[in-house]
Structure 1
């Protein structure tokens, strides 16, 4: 009998597994070809798996919250009207779902209990999904502690929510019982911050979604890794604004694309990185890795309020038309959650557009493992001094502020300042007679 197996697809270098976050259909539902049926998430991006052909969903082989490996069969589709026997469904299930999974915690944290093998079920019969096992490993939760958790899922399944609540309770107890030790130099020890004075009547407790948790984690890590320094420069983009206003309708008719300022910023940054390649680097211990390719990350706000950074690969090999098409495509698909994992990794430098929200400037946080990030502020009309052969005069100009945050371990003020000035020069000296 014909059946179609739905697999976890390959999602880019270094990505070997994904968490099943949501089933968009139910078993028995009819689906059309290319209709999304399962939502998955990696540590990089959320994405959806579509049906390869029309049919009926016969069975899901994993549960929401489970972690599946690339290549695993996660669902089966059959033609409408067909049915699969139990033996056909069982034979398609990945063997590893039932087999025992063993892992060890780092020796410096390990105890006799945490070195014990963690099976797929606790002693009291609660099922432990791969995701829960992973969280237990990362948070040093022992097998004995897992046995204490009463699973709230189907068939006593321990859910992600169950183990996170257990970990939070464990931490709270540790804070209460931990003695406060005075630090050196007799400085007063800070008391643990407590939210106990808040109650349900005057606050709203909002659980961070998965992406917001990742963003929070990455931002904290970046500040801990890189000593941030930020430089600023005013840029007169009057000529650039006039050129874009003149050409945008023609560009739309000819290329079928809206011409925003973002592709022009990407082009200017790419040229400046060629001039100052030591900004296009990353740090590995005491080694500097200089990239001979230029991939520009483009910070993009999502409707959810979160942020994602799709990447324009090989930006130095594209002209302005090619950059524009990729910028628009990536931005459009980012907003509807259609990016692939390999489209948000591999950047060597990132641009974030604060001006899109009216901000004049800001101090962006570096997107690791890069060593610099450029923020572009809003373009505003301002009075400015204009130098002419007849002398200085005052005029109304389109001015924007560029701010460059850079890793002071490898980018000194001189290099950061010269790079920032070069980006400004490419924008200020834009060729107003340029044709597309």
Structure 2
């Protein structure tokens, strides 16, 4: 029996670090090949990592909430008959095949795995598309950009087609933001335990994870509360929002931030000093439950990458935005019919679905909009496919996964893909492959009751369409007795495009075509 160190795999996509969100094992546990042992958050998505060996968990080398560089050891596994591996392996030499660093991560997703992700749930509650299936599955391996250690392939011989580095800047500005880990009390349960932990920072004492639903966990994190210190009122031990609020009220009554921190209600500055995971977004209330006048939230992960990408896009691509007001009445009538159609049973039929189809038809008529600017080659790359990005608001922030080859789908197929995309995004399980390679994006601000906006183009794309709220408004229509003012379902669309490759004529025709299809969906039979 010898110890093998499992190093943080290289996820590709140009990412160099990840945050440890949740350990699914503890020292002394027995693990099998491809068993999910840890959940990490990269700047792209939430990912479950499988272990490549069978054995016994020796030591957890990092805490939940820690940010770890790629290649750093995170856990040791006692493996029967294996030699000790005290340090990560050196990068592979030129021409030498390197081991896959993360089974299934960044690999091309097959249709069967895509179906598994949409329909089948793994033990962690999400589709298991990262473990690569059975232990015997293998594929070509290309050397990773960091030449990381043998963390991805174990005794079972499992390997994957790991893609290297960035596949363009299309996905640089998208993803979710923030930290999804619970605030961990760790070894601070007592003064003695805290001193022991400080003396041996490489070790992690196993702590029973408190039971709470995701919305409650987010509420607690937003208010700097350690769930381990909250007393559940439910007989089954599940912590409710009311329990967290009661804990906050108790801490506020004491009026002592340090006492609150000892009980688990850490203030944001104190938590930052102690290295505790922070909330995924700011607490927007005017008052802090712990009496602090300010709350500091680390800029890292997806939020940091999104900020950098949006600034780069805004100051690199010359943005032009055009607007149009559209009578959506016929589209809304069509939706009502589709909701009762047997062909669309089980499909959530929304105005966004019809807009997505209209955009695909309009791209076919105006292919120059679906392009990207290649600065290095000094070329405009026109894409003969539509990877349609849909901005989705999630507990981790805004992400923009895309539907591959959306232009080749029927309306029902597009509806299924759209429903699956949104559901997966809300669960925080969107894989990096779904956020890479987008060609054009829709952002739906109408769901928030907003009429319009001037969105920033995602890096690597040339246009983004903004969909506003649909409202009943007075509208002038032609009648038998001349013009009449009648109530109609009206919305506003805005299109931001890169003026380096989309001029005003092309952008205007594209936006006008989408508006025409929404005003009269039957046009799609002629144009499609």
TM-score where L is the length of structure 2: 0.55
* Correspondence 1:15-414 to 2 at 5 A: 19-25=18-24, 26-29=26-29, 36-50=36-50, 57-60=57-60, 64-68=66-70, 75=75, 84=79, 88=82, 90-91=84-85, 94-96=88-90, 202-250=293-341, 255-285=345-375, 286-304=378-396, 306-414=397-505
Using the TM superposition, give the Cα deviation of residue 68 of structure 1 relative to its aligned residue in structure 2, in angstroms: 2.7
Check whether the contact 1:279–1:371 (CA below 8 A) recurs between aligned residues.
yes
* 1:417 equivalent in structure 2: 508
Using the TM superposition, give the Cα deviation of residue 35 of structure 1 relative to its aligned residue in structure 2, in angstroms: 7.4
Using the TM superposition, give the Cα deviation of residue 409 of structure 1 relative to its aligned residue in structure 2, in angstroms: 1.6
Distance 2:472 2:401 in 1: 30
Distance 1:76 1:312 in 2: 38
Check whether the contact 2:4–2:85 (CA below 8 A) recurs between aligned residues.
no
Change beyond 3 A, Cα 1:4–1:421: farther
Using the TM superposition, give the Cα deviation of residue 17 of structure 1 relative to its aligned residue in structure 2, in angstroms: 5.7
Change beyond 3 A, Cα 1:414–1:204: same
Distance 1:376 1:396 in 2: 20
* 2:210 equivalent in structure 1: none
Secondary structure of residue in 2 paired with 1:95: coil
Q: Deviations over 1:105-126 (max 9, x none)?
A: xxxxxxxxxxxxxxxxxxxxxx
Using the TM superposition, give the Cα deviation of residue 38 of structure 1 relative to its aligned residue in structure 2, in angstroms: 1.8
Distance 2:434 2:5 in 1: 26
Structure with larger Rg: 1
Using the TM superposition, give the Cα deviation of residue 156 of structure 1 relative to its aligned residue in structure 2, in angstroms: 8.1
Distance 2:326 2:198 in 1: 58
Q: Deviations over 1:319-353 (max 9, x none)?
A: 11111111111111111111111110100000000
Change beyond 3 A, Cα 1:332–1:9: farther
Change beyond 3 A, Cα 1:39–1:237: same
Using the TM superposition, give the Cα deviation of residue 44 of structure 1 relative to its aligned residue in structure 2, in angstroms: 2.6
Q: Deviations over 1:364-402 (max 9, x none)?
A: 000011111000001101010011343111111000100
Distance 1:400 1:30 in 2: 57
Query: How many positions carry a matched residue from both structures?
Result: 330
Secondary structure of residue in 1 paired with 2:70: strand
Change beyond 3 A, Cα 1:154–1:227: farther
Check whether the contact 1:271–1:316 (CA below 8 A) recurs between aligned residues.
yes
Residue segments in structure 2 that go unaligned for 5+ positions in a row: 92-196, 203-268, 274-290
Residue segments in structure 1 that go unaligned for 5+ positions in a row: 78-82, 98-151, 166-199
Using the TM superposition, give the Cα deviation of residue 432 of structure 1 relative to its aligned residue in structure 2, in angstroms: 11
Using the TM superposition, give the Cα deviation of residue 24 of structure 1 relative to its aligned residue in structure 2, in angstroms: 2.0
Q: Deviations over 1:41-80 (max 9, x none)?
A: 44432322256899853445777433336xx986566xxx
Change beyond 3 A, Cα 1:208–1:432: same
Change beyond 3 A, Cα 1:236–1:31: farther
Using the TM superposition, give the Cα deviation of residue 4 of structure 1 relative to its aligned residue in structure 2, in angstroms: 11
Secondary structure of residue in 2 paired with 1:90: coil
Check whether the contact 1:299–1:307 (CA below 8 A) recurs between aligned residues.
yes
RMSD (Å) for aligned C-alpha atoms: 3.8
Check whether the contact 2:476–2:483 (CA below 8 A) recurs between aligned residues.
yes
Check whether the contact 1:20–1:68 (CA below 8 A) recurs between aligned residues.
no
Distance 2:9 2:307 in 1: 27
Secondary structure of residue in 2 paired with 1:272: helix
Secondary structure of residue in 1 paired with 2:349: coil
Using the TM superposition, give the Cα deviation of residue 30 of structure 1 relative to its aligned residue in structure 2, in angstroms: 6.3
Distance 2:56 2:487 in 1: 64
Check whether the contact 2:8–2:69 (CA below 8 A) recurs between aligned residues.
no
Distance 2:7 2:336 in 1: 48
Q: Deviations over 1:206-249 (max 9, x none)?
A: 33352212221111111111111110001111111112123214
Check whether the contact 2:37–2:51 (CA below 8 A) recurs between aligned residues.
yes
Check whether the contact 2:455–2:466 (CA below 8 A) recurs between aligned residues.
yes
* 2:213 equivalent in structure 1: none
TM-score where L is the length of structure 1: 0.65
Change beyond 3 A, Cα 1:11–1:268: farther
Secondary structure of residue in 1 paired with 2:27: coil
Distance 1:7 1:325 in 2: 37
